[in-house]
Amino acid sequence: MTIKDRHDIRAAPPLVSLNPTGDANPDGLRLEDPPAPERKPESKGRIPPSGMILELSILSGAMIKGKGGWPIIRLSAAILLILACNMVGQVRLNVWNGAFFDALEHRNGPDFITQFWNFFLIIGVLLSLVVAQTWFQELLKIRIRERMSHILLDSWLEPGRAYRLGFVGEKASAPDQRMQEDCRLFAEFTTELGVGLLQSAMLLLTFIAVLWSLSSYVVLKINGEDWRIPGYMVWVAVAYAGIGSTLTWLVGRPLIRLNTQRYSHEAGLRFALVRVNDNAEGIALYKGERDERQNLEAMLQHVLKATRKLSGALARLTWITSGYGWVAIVVPIIAAAPGYFSQRLTFGELMMVVGAFTQVQSALRYFVDNFPKIADWRSAVFRVSMFRRAISELEQEGAKFEQIAVEPHPEQKLSFENLVISLIDGQTVIEQATAEVGVGERVLITGASGSGKSTLFRAIAGLWPWGRGAIRTPPLEQQMFMPQRPYLPLGNLRAAICYPGHPSEFSDEVIGFALQRCGLTEFETQLDADLLWDKRLSLGQQQRVAFARLLLHKPLWVFMDEATSALDDEAQSSLLSLFENELAGTTVLSIAHRQGVEAFHTRTLRLIRTEEGTRLFGRRSVVKDGRRAIVRRLLDQLSWFGSVQG
């Protein structure tokens, strides 16, 4: 279908004004101020343990739901099987311990040789199991990260949501960090800690029985009497692990809060660095490097202060974790020594007791060993789940307050019906707007700076929900929005010009024509160059790219917000004349301040501040030449002035 074909199918543009009075609010009614939305207090940066379990179950449920969850379930099952086989191997190794040291104690050469070969057989099997476990564990980390990233990306990039999340505050800040670093940490720590916990639980169940039965050989002599305490060595292990865990909790508790603080400061620093880089030109022109250096220094100091506090807390915790490990070497020997010295335990059996104690105690020590990691993991879970929560709260908040209804227009036109636009805090920006734009019209919206033109533009696009009334729009696939600074995706110029379509959809010939028509001929040979085009092209050239896109996509409705602000008069006229030639019949709604723009429009709507707030006023103004335009505008202004005064 050619440009002409697409535009011929539409009806001739009806030049209609809003209503007979030209006033957007014929009844003279003033709508009540919308209620100020309730603001939730900012999060204090902590989730209680019960909340943590809930968050984790929600995240886990989301991860294993549907087809995408199967690889995670399969890998988890494989790891579980390997762990079970590993337990059997560990028990076998413990039994070998007894036989080997007994052979040594009895100086039994042939038995020693047999046990020597048995050892290699057992560790051969155990080694293979550990390698397989490591491999599956790494795969599981990748799968969890992939799944979690997909979940967050999908909900973040729902139409308009990433933009609106910018209003939520701290909870949804630094989405880059949440979807990159926090997702990675979440995947890695969840896998490592989860598998570790499972392994510890299995070790505990397996060796507690072994240790319990071996405990019957340990007889204590108290006041000359023999005392046999059932499961004596198990109780020693439990008591020892209990002391270690309590001390670890007391000393290491601040780590959770300190980790969260550190991540938050790191994110702030990274965001500030990226911002400085993005605005390097503006900063250089203002010679603002010294100021920026000071700001960055302050942020760096926050990071370093938080890291220093964290290092101190970690060092204090090392007293407990390392000391606990060293003392654990002698605790089982000392505890079981009475059995050995009373000759109820052989040396081999003593070694079996030590081995089983070490396993039980290391299983119970899971918490001590992993405390810093658990603190890190909690921070990552906290940040990921906060982000998910912020997204769902955005929807719920939206449902609580009256919103602008953006609905399809039954006749595929554009209309504002008793539209009131507010800020998120309830302050009204546009008090009243009622207007209709018919197919084929070219309507200009003007108004003083800050009167709400761009906010209206966002509301039409469905990005600005705060307010009430209705905006009825033509079909989404017929619309194209052109902000002042067009978005240029990463990649080559071809992709930037074809955006949001794929380059394969357009022939070189069509792209070449669009470039020539929009004054970008010099770039025809660089279509496939992979550069940072938003830095390489001037703003005026970027605006030309946005017009070239129009020639490729031929939308039936075009919405422009200062889309020609960086162009010279000649270029602006040449590009706006597209709507009278190649794109004739396209309906245009544009916001502009620039001289000369009005001549390309068939009607003007004005946002005017009145005593009752900013309102939208409309007049039909078909302007053919400069002189008529000036006369018309003077007359228009006089009559509006009169109506406002009246």
Ligand X SMILES: Nc1ncnc2c1ncn2[C@@H]1O[C@H](COP(=O)(O)OP(=O)(O)OP(=O)(O)O)[C@@H](O)[C@H]1O
Min CB(614)–ligand X separation in Å: 9
When the beta carbons of 447 and 585 are compared against ligand X, the nearer one is 447
100 or 466: CB nearest ligand X: 466
Binding residues for ligand X restricted to 80-139, rule: CB under 6 A: none
Residue number with CB closer to ligand X (361 or 451): 451
Q: Shortest gap between Cβ of 80 and ligand X (angstroms)?
A: 50
Output the CA torsion 463→464→468→472 (10° steps). -30
Shortest reach from residue 291's CB to ligand X, in Å: 24
Query: Would you state the structure tokens that stand for residue 455, as one six-digit string?
Result: 């906010």
Considering the complex, what minimum distance in angstroms separates the CB of residue 64 from ligand X?
A: 38
Using DSSP's 3-state secondary structure scheme, residue 608 falls into: strand
Structure tokens at 160: 């308009």
> Which CB, 450 or 489, lies closer to ligand X?
450
Dist CA 537 CA 519 (whole Å)? 13
In 476-620, where do the E strands start and end?
479-482, 557-561, 587-591, 603-610, 613-620
Residue 460 vs 545, nearer CB to ligand X: 460
- Name, in order, each residue with C-beta under 8 angstroms of 101's C-beta and a sequence gap of 6 or more: 346, 347, 348, 350, 351
432/446 Cα distance (integer angstroms): 15
Looking at beta carbons only, is 2 or 449 nearer to ligand X?
A: 449
In the complex, the smallest distance separating the C-beta of residue 425 from ligand X, rounded to whole angstroms, is 8
CB 447, min distance to ligand X, A:
6
| C-alpha–C-alpha distance, residues 442 and 601, integer Å | 5
Q: How far is the CB of 605 from ligand X (least distance, A)?
A: 13
Angle in degrees, CA 304, 309, 310, rounded to 5:
95
Label residue 202 exposed, middle or buried (CB < 10 Å: 0-12, 13-18, 19+): middle
Residue 565 CB, nearest approach to ligand X (Å): 10
Residue closer to ligand X (CB basis): 208 or 433:
433
Gyration radius of the chain over CA positions: 36
Q: Where are the alpha helices (DSSP H) in 407-503?
A: 453-460, 493-498
Q: Are 382 and 260 in contact (CB under 8 A)?
A: yes
Whole-angstrom distance, CA of residue 442 vs CA of residue 112: 97
Q: Is residue 565 at the binding interface for ligand X, with CB under 6 A as the rule? A: no
- Binding positions for ligand X, 408-467, rule CB under 6 A: 423, 429, 447, 449-455
Nearer to ligand X by Cβ, of 97 and 451: the residue is 451
Of 510, 501, 417, nearest to 467 by C-alpha is: 417
CB of 430 to ligand X, least distance (A): 8
Q: Which is nearer to ligand X, 511 or 546 (CB)?
A: 546
Per CB under 6 A, residues contacting ligand X are 423, 429, 447, 449-455
